[in-house]
Amino acid sequence: MTAALESRSLCKNFGALTVADRIDFRLERGARHALIGPNGAGKTTFINMLTGRLRPSSGKMLLGGEDITALGQAARVKRGLGRTFQINTLFLNLPAIDNVALTVAEREGVAWSMFRPANRYRAVIDESMALLQTLGLADDARVHVARLPYGKQRLVEIAVALGLKPKVLLLDEPAAGVPSLESHRILDVLAALPGEIAILIIEHDMDLVFRFAKRITVLSQGTILVEGTPAEIAANQRVREVYLGERHV
C-alpha cells in the first residue's frame, strides 16, 4: 500500500552545511507518528521541505504516491497536505472564526466571490464554527485571536489546519509555549481527530509524544537515527545518548 506521505533520500545543504542527509521516511495512512530529535537535528527543515516552503537539494517527496517534489506550497495544500506552524502565524487582528473561515473558503473555492456578503455563506461559517467547537473554542469564535491566551491560539492554529480537510496533517510543536496544564487539552484534541487523517507531530514535550504517537522517528544531525514504537524508542541506547541529560527519556 502506498504511504500517505513519503520522502526518498531527501537532502538539503546550505552551502557546506548539511541539514538533511538522505532522509527516507514513510508516513502510513491514518498514522499517529512523531518526529523527535535534539535541537538542530533538522526537524523543521524536514517539515519545511515536506510542505514546499523549502526546496530540497536532492531527493523526492510523494503524497499518496504522487510525486510532489516540484509543487509549491499552495498546490500541496490543495492535494491534502495541511500543517500548523511552530510559531503562531495566525491572523491576529481577525476573530477566531474568520481565521478558520478564510481557510474553508479557499478550500471551497468561494474566496473569489466579490458580490455577496461573506456572512451569507452559511456553509462556510457553519463548518468553521463546528471546527472551533470540536476544539472547545465555540465561546471564543468572535474574539480577535490576539486577545486569546496562547494555548487557545495554538488550538485555533489546529482548527485552521483542519479547515483544509487534510489527508496528511503536520503539527509543528503544537504544545510549544503552552503551560503543561493546558497541554493536556491539546492532547485530548489531537486524540479526537478523525482516524483517517495521517498525523505527523514534531514535539519537544516527550510526555505528549509518548502518549500520542504509535510510531516515533528520531532525527539527529539531519539523518534518521532510529524508528520504532514508543517502547522501542524509550529502550534504545543510542536515543538515550543523543538525548543525554534530557530528563524525559
Partner 1 sequence: MNHAGGYVADSRIRLVEWLPWLLALLCYIFAPSYLPLGSYVLTMIIFALSLDLVVGYSGIITLGHSAYFGMGAYVAGILAARLTAEPLLGLATATLGAGLLGFLTGIVILRTRGLALLMLTLAITSLCLEIANKATGWTGGADGLGGFAMQPILGLFKFDMFGKTAYLYCLAVLFACWWLVRRLVYSPFGASLTGVRENNQRMNAVGAPVYMRLVISYTISAALAGLAGALLTQTTQFVGLKVLGFELSGELLVMLILGGIGRIYGAFVGPLVYLVAQDYLAKQFPEYWYFGIGMILVLVVMFIRGGILGIVDAGIAKWRGTSA
Footprint on this chain of partner 1 (rule: CB under 8 A): 51, 73-75, 77-78, 83, 85, 89-95, 97-98, 101-103, 105-107, 110-121, 124-125, 128, 141-142, 160, 163-164
Cβ closest to partner 1, residue 98 vs residue 173: 98
Minimum gap (Å) between residue 104 Cβ and partner 1 = 9
Name the β-bridge partners of 25.
7
Minimum gap (Å) between residue 16 Cβ and partner 1 = 28
Helices (H) and strands (E) counted in the chain, each on its own, are 9, 10
Cβ closest to partner 1, residue 124 vs residue 206: 124
Cβ closest to partner 1, residue 60 vs residue 107: 107
Query: Nearest Cα to 177, choosing from 199, 149, 212, 201?
Result: 149
Say if CB 33 and CB 224 are below 8 A apart.
no
Cβ closest to partner 1, residue 51 vs residue 220: 51
Cell of 101: 473561515
Minimum gap (Å) between residue 110 Cβ and partner 1 = 5
Minimum gap (Å) between residue 170 Cβ and partner 1 = 11
Cβ closest to partner 1, residue 8 vs residue 107: 107
Name the β-bridge partners of 224.
219
β-pairing, 198-202 vs 32-36, is parallel
Minimum gap (Å) between residue 186 Cβ and partner 1 = 20
Minimum gap (Å) between residue 12 Cβ and partner 1 = 20
CA max distance for the chain: 62
Cβ closest to partner 1, residue 94 vs residue 249: 94
Say if CB 171 and CB 126 are below 8 A apart.
no
Say if CB 42 and CB 221 are below 8 A apart.
yes
How far apart CA 78 and CA 68 sit, in angstroms, is 11
Name the β-bridge partners of 223.
220
